[in-house]
Structure 1
Amino acid sequence: MKLTVIGFWGGYPKQNAASSGYLLEHEGFQLLIDCGSGVLSKLQTIIQPEELDAVIISHYHPDHIADIGVLQHSRLIQGLLGKEFPTLPLYSHEYDQHEFTKLTYKTITKGIAYDTNSILSVGPFQVTFLKTDHPVPCYAMRIEVGGKTIVYTADGSFKEELIEFSKEADILLCECNFYGHQNGKSAGHMNSIEAGRLAKIAVVKQLILTHLPHYGNLSDLISEASSEFTGIIKLADEFQPISL
């Protein structure tokens, strides 16, 4: 399994960058997790949009879905130019019907509602879900294949249920929108110390901080998280490949 960070900024992308988007690959299957602003442009550095096999979405805030429309049009245009590929499944929750219906576009993409209480099979991946504490319905994902596990917290403040959900993950891809001295609970986000605490108690192998703030010294996030977690900690970085 290979994870590549496409975008990692929270809220909006910095100049020439992207907000949330992560490419997960295993045995030729290419799954995009979230598709925020700037993701489609950056994705093309690695693969073309028509090469995606599936997309899975955590929630409908723009920094996680802003490029769904342009993804749809990219595949539409490539089809008109003669390329052939199947309808792209876009997996998401259906607790916002207005947004969910936009996932189906002609025969280009098809919105498929995942059952948040069951295991979802997407290609070779097995995905389970946990509702996060966020202003809109949002789901963390535990993705397993070949004996390896990646947990993506998506957006949400710290909650005890995340500990068991993240237990012994090889990678904890954890949102970290606030510094240690800040309280992100009312905004529905974690700070660096909470991310480190989650990694420590869940006994994960590696912590990657993502959904990063646009201010301050980002390296402080690592030092703050390391006050709790003594394992490997990294800041998400564009095109950062991690193989398991």
Structure 2
Amino acid sequence: MELTVIGHWGGYPKKNAASSGYLLEHEGFHLLIDCGSGVLSKLQNKLEPEELDAVLISHYHPDHIADIGVLQHARLIQGFLGKEIPTLPIYGHHFDQHEFSKLTYKEITKGIAYDPNEVLTVGPFQVSFLKTSHPVPCYAMRIEANGKVVVYTADSSFKEEFIPFSKEADLLLCECNFYGNQKGKSSGHMTSIEAGKFAKEAAVKQLILTHLPHYGNLSDLVHEASAEFTGIIRLAEEFQTILL
């Protein structure tokens, strides 16, 4: 299983960058997790939009779905140019019907509602869900394939349920929108110190901090998290690849 960070900024993309988007690949299957602003442009450095096999959406804030529309048009145009373009499944929750309805576009994409209480099979991946603490319905994901586990928190303040959900994951892709001296609970985000404690208590093998803030010295996030978690900690970076 291979994870590539396509975009990692919180809220909006920095110049020439992208907000949330992560490409997970296994056995030739290409799964895009979230599709924020700038993701489609950056994704094409790794593979073409028509090569995606599925998309999985955590929630409907723009920094996680802004490029769904242009992804749909990219596949539409490639079809006009003569390529065989199968209907792309886009999995999302159904608790915002207005936004969920936009996942379906002609025969290009098909929105499929996942049941957060059930395990979802997407290609070679088994996905479990946990509702997060965020201003809108949002779901963290525990993704398993070939005995390896990736946990993606999506957007959330810390909640105790994350610990058993993430237990002994090979990789924790954890949102970290606030520094250690700040409070993220009211806005539904985590601090660096909370991310470190989370990683320690869940006994994960490595921690990647993502959904990063647009200010401050980002290396401080790693330093602050490392006061709690002594394992591998890295900041998410564009086109960073982790092989599990």
TM-score of Structure 1 vs Structure 2, range by shorter chain:
over 0.9
Q: Which residue of the partner structure matches residue 191 of structure 2?
A: 191
| Shift, 1:109, TM fit | 0.1
Which residue is equivalent to 1:23? Answer: 23
Instruction: Read off the aligned partner of 1:152 and give its amino acid letter.
Output: Y
What do the CA deviations read for 1:120-163 (whole angstroms, capped 9, x no partner)?
00000000000000000000000000000000000000000000
Instruction: Give yes or no for the alignment of 1:65 onto 2:65.
Output: yes
Provide, for residues 188-234 of structure 1, a one-character-per-residue CA deviation record: whole Å limited to 9, x for no partner. 00000000000000000000000000000000000000010000000
Take 1:103 and 1:63, find their aligned partners in 2: how far apart are those partners?
15
The secondary structure found in structure 2 opposite 1:40 is helix
Q: How does 1:42-61 map to 2 (within 5 A)?
A: 42-61=42-61
Unaligned runs of 5+ in 1: none
Counterpart of 1:80 in structure 2 is: 80
Q: Please report how far the alpha carbon of residue 85 of structure 1 lies from its aligned counterpart in structure 2 after TM superposition.
A: 2.1
Cα distance in structure 2, aligned partners of 1:190 and 1:114: 25
1:69 shift after superposition: 0.2
- C-alpha distance in structure 1 between counterparts of 2:11 and 2:197, whole Å: 24
Give the aligned residue type for 2:208: I
Alignment of 1:209-224 (within 5 A): 209-224=209-224
Unaligned regions of 5+ residues in structure 2, if any? none
Q: How many residues align?
A: 244
Tell me the C-alpha RMSD between the 2 structures: 0.3
User: AA paired with 1:141?
Assistant: M
For normalisation by structure 2, the TM-score amounts to 1.00
2:91–2:112: 8 Å Cα contact kept in structure 1? yes
Q: Which residue of 2 aligns with 1:232?
A: 232
Alpha-carbon distance between aligned partners in 2 of 1:167 and 1:183, rounded to the nearest angstrom: 25
State the partner residue of 1:148.
148
Distance 1:163 1:176 in 2: 16
Partners of 2:60 and 2:125 lie apart in 1 by 22
CA distance in 1, matches of 2:175, 2:146: 25
Any runs of at least 4 consecutive aligned residues in structure 1 with deviations exceeding 2 A, and if so which? none
Q: Superposed, which structure 2 residues align to 1:47-196 within 5 Å?
A: 47-196=47-196
Corresponding residue of 1:13: 13
| Cα contact 2:78–2:85 (8 A) shared by 1 | no
Q: CA shift at 1:58, angstroms?
A: 0.1
